Chain A
Amino acid sequence: MSDEVKFLTHEVGSLAKPSWLVKTSAGKPLEESDIEHARQWGEKLDVEGHEALIELLQQDERDADEIARWSSRYCVRLQESAGVDVLWDGEQQRSEMYAWAIAHSNGFEPRGTVRSFDNKYYSKSAATGPVSLREPYHDDEFSFLKSVAQHELKIPITGAYTLAVWSYDEHHLPKEGRLGGGLSRKDEIDARRELTLDIARNIIRPNLESLIGLGATWIQIDEPGASTEEDELDIFVESFNVSVEGLDCFFSTHLCFSDYDLFFPAIEGMSGCRQYCVGFANYDTRELGTGGAERPGYEVISKWRDLPYDPILGLGVLDIHTDFVEPPELVRDRILYAAEVFGDPARIHVCPDCGLRTRSWDVAYEKLRNMVEGTRLAEESLNRAHAGATG
C-alpha cells in the first residue's frame, strides 16, 4: 500500500448561473452575447453535444428546465476540466439553497426579500404551520448528474438549523405579549428547537433517505447559519444528529463566515459528521509562508484536529468574495500549514471557502484550477520531504 500523500479536492456548492439560464428562467429574450457565452464555454470545456444547446437558445420558446440541465452539464465539465475530484453541478437546477428547500416544503409562507450583505439578497419565508416535506427535492438532479458526471458526486443539502434560523417563525412564537421583554430568551430557544427538529425529522431526513436509496454515497449538509446564535449551537448539533442518525452514508457539513471558536465544544457531540468543510481563506493573508504569522486565518483548525472522533477537515483555501485568483503557491502554503497542524494529511481535503456563485465562470474556473495545482504542489512538497526522510 502506497503511503504517498494525496489530497482530495472538492467544490462546496454553488456556481453562478449563466445569463442564458437566468434570462430563460425569467422569460426574457437572449442577446447574441448570451449565445456566444454558451458557444465559447461549450468549446472550451468540450461539453458533449453543446451545439444542441446553441440551437435551443436560438429559439424564441425555450424550456427553462431543459436549459437548466444544460447549465448543469456545463458546470460539471467546468469543475472536471479544472481537475476537481468530487463535485456537484453548482446548484444550477435549484432556485437558491434556501428558497428551493422552502418551495418544496409545507408550512412556510414567503415574507419578501432581505439583504444578506452588500447588494446580495435572499428570499425569506415564515414558518406559519406544521412543517413537512412535499416531495424529495434533490432526487431528480442527483439522478441526472449521475448520468452526466465523470467524477464523484457530493450532494449539498441545506441543513435544518439554517432553514430554521433563516426563516421567521410565526408558528411557534406568540404574536402578542412580546413587547417589554415579555418573551424570554428561553422561550425563543425552545421555539427554535421545536422548529429546527421538526425540519430535521420531517424535511431533511426523508430527503436523505431518498437520496441514499438512489445511490448517494456523500451528502454535505450545508449549515452556513449554524453559528448565528451562540446559545443555540446545541440545537444545530442535535438537528444534525437527528437528520443522519442510523443512515448509511458519508455525511459532512459546511460552515462559513463565522467565529469558529464558537463551535467548540458543542460539535464534540456531532460524531456522525465525518468531514467539516470550512471557509478560512476569507480571514487569511495573501502572503506566502507556512508559519502561523502568514496563516492567521487557519489558526483555529487545531480545534478540529482535536475533536474526539477524528473528522476530516475540508480546508477552505479560496476566498469566494473576491476576484483575486489565489496563486497555486498560496494554496500550497495554506495546505502545508494545515497538514503540519494536523500531523496527518489524510485528515485534510481541499476546497473553496464556500460556493463560488458570486464569481463569474472565468474567475471561478481560474480559482479552481489554481486550487488543484496548489494541491499538487503541496503533495509534491510533502512527498519530497517524506522521500528525503526515508531515503
Chain B
Amino acid sequence: MQATRDLDRGRTTQEAVDQQVDRDLAELVDVQQQAGLDLLADGMLRWQDVFRPLVEASEGLETGALTRFLDTNTFYRAPSATTAEPRLREPLGERHVAPLPGPRLVTLPSPYALAHGTGLPAKAMAEGVLKPQLEAFDAELVVLEEPFLARDEKADLSAFEEALQKLAGGPKLALWLTFGNAQRLLEQGLADLPVHAIGIDFYATRATDVPPGFDKMLLAGILDARSSVLEEPREIAAFVERLRGRGVDEIALVPNGDLQYVSEQVAREKLVRLGKARTATVEAAA
C-alpha cells in the first residue's frame, strides 16, 4: 500500500514496488498454506479492480467513470465498450496471474459482470475476452466473480447460461455470487448452470434457499468480507451441518466476497478462522 502510494507520488520506483509485491505475495501464500487451504490464490495484488487488467488488455474495451462498487466505499473504473465484439489482445501474464507453489485457483469477472453497464451481452465478453484468457490458464479452478446478477431483478439466466457455455472445455469453473441474496436465482435454476461450483453469500441467503438435490460443489460464503467482526468457527461448523442436512455433499468454505473490504490484519485473522472452521467442520462430520 505504501509502496504504490509512493509510486503515485514519484517517491519510489516501479522496481521497488515489484519487490514489495513479491514479498507480500510470499507472505500471503504462507498464510493460506498455514490455514490449510486446498487451493491457493495470488490475492490479485496488482489488480486495481476485478476488471481493469482485462479491460486494458482488450481491443474494444475502455476504462470508464469511477463508479461505486455496490454498497461499499470502494470504487472501480466501470468498463465501457467501443465495439460490439471486444477481443483480448493477449492473455494476462505473470504480472497479473502470479505463479504459485501448488494447486491454484484464479479469479476473473463473470461474463455478466464484465458486460455490466457496457450495453453488450455477456456472451460477447465470454467469447472475445474470457475464453481466450481461460485457455491460457493452468489452474485447478477458475472462479467467475459475479457481484451484480443477484441484485438485478431483471437478470436473464438463459442468456447468462449461453455465455457460460462459451467458456466450457477448459479449467473447472465456479460461479461466485458475491454480496447478495441468491434466493431468487436459485429458484430460477441457478444450480443448473454449466459450472462445476456455485458460490453463495450466506450472510444474505438462507440455508433453506439451497434447493433439494443441489449436486454441484457449493462455495459457501461463510466469512463476511464486509464486516470487521471475526467469525466463530463453531457457528460456521454448525451452519455447514445445516447445509449438509439439505443434501449438499461437496462444500468449500469461502468468504462472501473479496476480502479487500476489510484490512489486511482483519483478513488475515478471518483466514485463520476459516482454517479453524474447516477443522471444526471435519470433526463434526466425523
A binds B: yes
Question: Which A residues have a C-beta under 8 Å from some C-beta of B?
Answer: 19, 111-122, 124, 126, 165-166, 168, 170, 173, 175-181, 183, 225, 227-230, 257-259, 282-283, 321
Given the contacts A114-B263, A228-B68, A179 and B236 also touching, CB distance less than 8 Å:
yes
What residues of chain B lie closer than 8 Å to A165, measured between beta carbons? 73
Q: Which of B65-109 contact A (CB under 8 A)?
A: 65-68, 71-76
Task: From B5, B7, B66, B73, give the contact of A225 (CB < 8 A).
Answer: B73
What residues of chain B lie closer than 8 Å to A117, measured between beta carbons? 48-49, 66, 74-76
With A and B bound together, what is the CA distance between A258 and B72 in angstroms? 12
With A and B bound together, what is the CA distance between A257 and B73 in angstroms? 10
> Is the CB–CB distance between B206 and A126 below 8 Å?
no
Closest residue to A118 on the B side, CB-wise? B48
Task: From B7, B74, B266, give the contact of A116 (CB < 8 A).
Answer: B74
> Is the CB–CB distance between A112 and B229 below 8 Å?
no
> Is the CB–CB distance between A121 and B206 below 8 Å?
no
Number of chain B residues close to chain A: CB under 8 A: 45
> Is the CB–CB distance between A111 and B5 below 8 Å?
no
With A and B bound together, what is the CA distance between A69 and B258 in angstroms? 40
Closest residue to A320 on the B side, CB-wise? B66
B133 within 8 Å of A (CB atoms): no
> Is the CB–CB distance between A176 and B232 below 8 Å?
yes
Given the contacts A114-B74, A121-B1, A258-B68, A170 and B228 also touching, CB distance less than 8 Å:
yes
> Is the CB–CB distance between A112 and B263 below 8 Å?
yes
> Is the CB–CB distance between B264 and A229 below 8 Å?
no
Given the contacts A112-B266, A119-B5, A283-B65, A170 and B229 also touching, CB distance less than 8 Å:
yes
> Is the CB–CB distance between B235 and A228 below 8 Å?
no
- 0/1 interface trace, chain B 1-32, chain A, CB 8 Å (1 if under): 10011011101000000000000000000000
What residues of chain B lie closer than 8 Å to A118, measured between beta carbons? 48-49
What residues of chain A lie closer than 8 Å to B207, measured between beta carbons? 180
With A and B bound together, what is the CA distance between A165 and B209 in angstroms? 29
B271 within 8 Å of A (CB atoms): no
Q: Which of B158-215 contact A (CB under 8 A)?
A: 181, 202-207, 209
With A and B bound together, what is the CA distance between A258 and B206 in angstroms? 30
What residues of chain B lie closer than 8 Å to A116, measured between beta carbons? 73-75
With A and B bound together, what is the CA distance between A175 and B235 in angstroms? 11
What residues of chain A lie closer than 8 Å to B181, measured between beta carbons? 181
Closest residue to B17 on the A side, CB-wise? A119
Distance between A21 CB and nearest chain B CB, rounded to angstroms: 13
Which of B4, B68, B204, B261 lies at the interface centre, i.e. has the most chain A CB atoms within 10 A of its CB?
B68
Closest residue to A180 on the B side, CB-wise? B207
Task: From B8, B75, B231, B239, give the contact of A257 (CB < 8 A).
Answer: B75
What residues of chain A lie closer than 8 Å to B229, measured between beta carbons? 168, 170, 173, 175
> Is the CB–CB distance between B73 and A113 below 8 Å?
no
Given the contacts A181-B204, A181-B205, A126 and B4 also touching, CB distance less than 8 Å:
no
30 chain-A/chain-B pairs, Cβ below 8 angstroms: A111-B262, A111-B263, A112-B263, A113-B263, A114-B260, A117-B66, A117-B75, A118-B48, A119-B4, A119-B8, A119-B48, A121-B1, A121-B5, A165-B73, A168-B227, A170-B228, A176-B235, A177-B235, A178-B224, A179-B222, A179-B231, A179-B236, A179-B239, A180-B206, A181-B205, A181-B209, A225-B73, A228-B68, A257-B67, A258-B68
Distance between B20 CB and nearest chain A CB, rounded to angstroms: 12
Closest residue to A181 on the B side, CB-wise? B206
With A and B bound together, what is the CA distance between A34 and B204 in angstroms? 51
With A and B bound together, what is the CA distance between A352 and B265 in angstroms? 35
With A and B bound together, what is the CA distance between A227 and B242 in angstroms? 36
Q: Which of B252-281 contact A (CB under 8 A)?
A: 260-266
> Is the CB–CB distance between A183 and B203 below 8 Å?
yes
Distance between A67 CB and nearest chain B CB, rounded to angstroms: 18
Closest residue to A117 on the B side, CB-wise? B75
With A and B bound together, what is the CA distance between A170 and B231 in angstroms? 12
Task: From A115, A168, A176, A230, give the contact of B228 (CB < 8 A).
Answer: A168
Distance between B231 CB and nearest chain A CB, rounded to angstroms: 8
With A and B bound together, what is the CA distance between A176 and B266 in angstroms? 17
With A and B bound together, what is the CA distance between A1 and B202 in angstroms? 65
> Is the CB–CB distance between B66 and A282 below 8 Å?
yes
With A and B bound together, what is the CA distance between A230 and B151 in angstroms? 12
With A and B bound together, what is the CA distance between A339 and B97 in angstroms? 50
Closest residue to B72 on the A side, CB-wise? A228
Closest residue to A123 on the B side, CB-wise? B263
> Is the CB–CB distance between A113 and B74 below 8 Å?
no
> Is the CB–CB distance between A180 and B260 below 8 Å?
no
With A and B bound together, what is the CA distance between A181 and B229 in angstroms? 16
> Is the CB–CB distance between A257 and B68 below 8 Å?
yes
Distance between B81 CB and nearest chain A CB, rounded to angstroms: 16
Task: From A112, A115, A170, A179, give the contact of B235 (CB < 8 A).
Answer: A179
What residues of chain A lie closer than 8 Å to B232, measured between beta carbons? 176
For the complex of A and B, the 3 pairs showing the least CB-CB separation, nearest first, are A112-B263, A119-B4, A117-B75
What residues of chain B lie closer than 8 Å to A126, measured between beta carbons? 228
